Amino acid sequence: MSTVNTTDFSELKLNPDLLKNLSSLEYESMTPIQALSLPVILAGDDVIGQGKTGSGKTAAFGLGLLQKLDVTSFKAQSIVLCPTRELADQVASEIRKLARAVHNIKVLTLCGGTPFGPQIGSLAHGVHIVVGTPGRIEEHLRKGTLKLGAVNTLVLDEADRMLDMGFQDTIDEIIEKVPENRQTLLFSATFPKEIMSIADKVMQNPTIVEAPSIEEGSTIKQYFHLTNTDDERMKALRLLLAKHKPNAALVFCNTKSDTQDVTDELAYYKFYAISIHGDLDQRERDQALIRFSNGSVSVLVATDVAARGLDIDDLDMVINFNVAHDPEVHTHRIGRTGRAGKHGIACTLYNDKETRKLELLDVDWVDCTSPLPSDNYLHKPIKRPLMTTLKVDGGKKQKLRPGDIVGGLTGKDGIPGDKIGKINVVSNWSYVAVSSELVKTALQKIQNDKLKGRTFRVRILS
């Protein structure tokens, strides 16, 4: 299949409703991965695509499966496997956006960590597109609540991460239940040999498309800092955060216990830091991610495993508190900053023993080694995040909606609407970010006023 030179969506043989909707979404032209893969996808061929989050890969496969969909048949026709719930939610919402112009399309997410019962109910009502994590999908197959006999498109999204997370066997079992006469689309940021062997097993003459990486190297500035002792390493972290004053920085540690120690130490020095690691339950993890992504916590400390599926585009800075064990992991880590043409900073702390790992990196680390900022930075005031989170003890189950919360915060004695940031309504709680300088006013207003005629407990998360 030849590649196309055009980036104009209208050159594709897309259903006119889908095409019209793309212009209403202000998708003016195709991203490189879309321009390369969509003609092949729409021709019905298998595709292996190299695409990271932010490349537009979701729309590439999403348009492919929507184009083929028979809305009149309420059987699952496409299945998208994702490594994490966050990614599955994101993929489902992108597909829903793309499908807006087509009447009555049912996109269902099936992920672990959420109750089974409602999923079974939704499946019984009929579904067109299933997006989910391998574990939960396999459970539904085992229980007989999900049938894949009518599936014509299978998508493996972020296939490398699914393998990293140990989903290989589960994925194999799921694929066995999908009719062989199907289109298979596989997207992955990296291509270890295990991916190619899956591709060999489950795909037919796939076309490999590799989008040119515009961002790598050009927008991420890497720095390396030698720190000889643990104390020096910790101090180096404080100096870097104090100097660069990031609004959003991700600090990677190699172990769970380091994650906790580093966060405790940063909190002791009054940094606005929070950690995510494997020991948190889903609620704690969600809460931490909400606070980081709504801008009320500026430093997130994580292990590689815990940071998987994290979809936060706007990172100013990545700090490797330890050198990653593997060069691919290093590339993955630093690729989380400098997205969408923005500038990003990636600082790596290392000691003498770790130089061996630096040799394997795709960068001249000796050239990029630089002295640490001066100790004077330790005495500068810590920058407070622009936003602060209020937690409301009421959520979806109490039928609260974002609009109710906006209503409760604005108006007489309230705060202006433009001082309200992200609102996340979850099952029994809601989180709303408000400008830090107005947080007290916001708290008072929402405490004094009722929300939908009821009083809910509200407090500041700090």
Strands (E), 321-429: 344-350, 387-392, 420-425
Token pair of 289 as six digits: 């991610």
C-alpha–C-alpha distance, residues 46 and 53, integer Å: 20
Task: Tell me whether residue 94 or residue 258 sits nearer to ligand AMP (CB atom).
Answer: 94
C-alpha–C-alpha distance, residues 204 and 288, integer Å: 42
Task: Tell me whether residue 293 or residue 388 sits nearer to ligand AMP (CB atom).
Answer: 293
Residues 24-53 that bind ligand AMP (CB under 6 A): 27, 30-31, 34, 53
Residue in 11, 17, 54, 406 binding ligand AMP, rule: CB under 6 A: 54
Task: Tell me whether residue 22 or residue 432 sits nearer to ligand AMP (CB atom).
Answer: 22
Of the candidates 150, 54, 154, 59, the one whose C-alpha atom is nearest the C-alpha of residue 100 is 59
Residue 365 touching ligand AMP (CB under 6 A): no
DSSP-derived 3-state class of residue 178: coil
Task: Tell me whether residue 10 or residue 462 sits nearer to ligand AMP (CB atom).
Answer: 10
Q: 256-264 — which CB contacts under 8 Å span 24+ positions?
A: 256/303, 258/321, 258/322, 259/301, 259/302, 259/303, 259/306, 262/234, 262/237, 262/301, 262/321, 263/301
Task: Tell me whether residue 29 or residue 427 sits nearer to ligand AMP (CB atom).
Answer: 29
Task: Tell me whether residue 289 or residue 409 sits nearer to ligand AMP (CB atom).
Answer: 289
Task: Tell me whether residue 30 or residue 186 sits nearer to ligand AMP (CB atom).
Answer: 30
In this structure, what are the phi and psi dihedrals at residue 169, rounded to the nearest 5 degrees? -65, -40
Task: Tell me whether residue 56 or residue 134 sits nearer to ligand AMP (CB atom).
Answer: 56
Smallest separation, CB 91 to ligand AMP (Å): 8
Residue in 58, 320, 348, 430 binding ligand AMP, rule: CB under 6 A: 58
Residue 189 touching ligand AMP (CB under 6 A): no
Smallest separation, CB 4 to ligand AMP (Å): 14
Smallest separation, CB 62 to ligand AMP (Å): 8
C-alpha–C-alpha distance, residues 80 and 186, integer Å: 10
Residues 88-117 that bind ligand AMP (CB under 6 A): 94
C-alpha–C-alpha distance, residues 39 and 43, integer Å: 6
Q: Give the number of other CB atoms < 10 A from CB of residue 450.
A: 12
* Residue found under tokens 């309200």: 420
Residue 348 touching ligand AMP (CB under 6 A): no
Task: Tell me whether residue 294 or residue 320 sits nearer to ligand AMP (CB atom).
Answer: 294
Smallest separation, CB 59 to ligand AMP (Å): 4
Helices of type H across 252-340: 256-268, 282-293, 304-307, 327-334
Residue 188 touching ligand AMP (CB under 6 A): no
Smallest separation, CB 23 to ligand AMP (Å): 10
Token pair of 175 as six digits: 């694929």
Smallest separation, CB 346 to ligand AMP (Å): 21
Of the candidate spans 55-63, 64-72, 214-222, 386-394, the one that interacts with ligand AMP by CB under 6 A turns out to be 55-63
- Torsion over CA: 233, 235, 238, 244 (sign): negative
Smallest separation, CB 34 to ligand AMP (Å): 6
Of the candidate spans 23-31, 116-124, 144-152, 420-428, the one that interacts with ligand AMP by CB under 6 A turns out to be 23-31
Of the candidates 10, 128, 125, the one whose C-alpha atom is nearest the C-alpha of residue 80 is 128
% helix, strand, coil for the chain, step of 5: 40, 20, 40
Smallest separation, CB 57 to ligand AMP (Å): 5
In this structure, what are the phi and psi dihedrals at residue 224, rounded to the nearest 5 degrees? -125, 140
Site residue total, ligand AMP (CB under 6 A): 12
Asked if residue 116 lies in contact with residue 110, where contact means CB atoms within 8 angstroms, the answer is: no
Smallest separation, CB 133 to ligand AMP (Å): 17
Smallest separation, CB 191 to ligand AMP (Å): 18
Residues that bind ligand AMP in the complex, under the rule CB under 6 A = 27, 30-31, 34, 53-59, 94
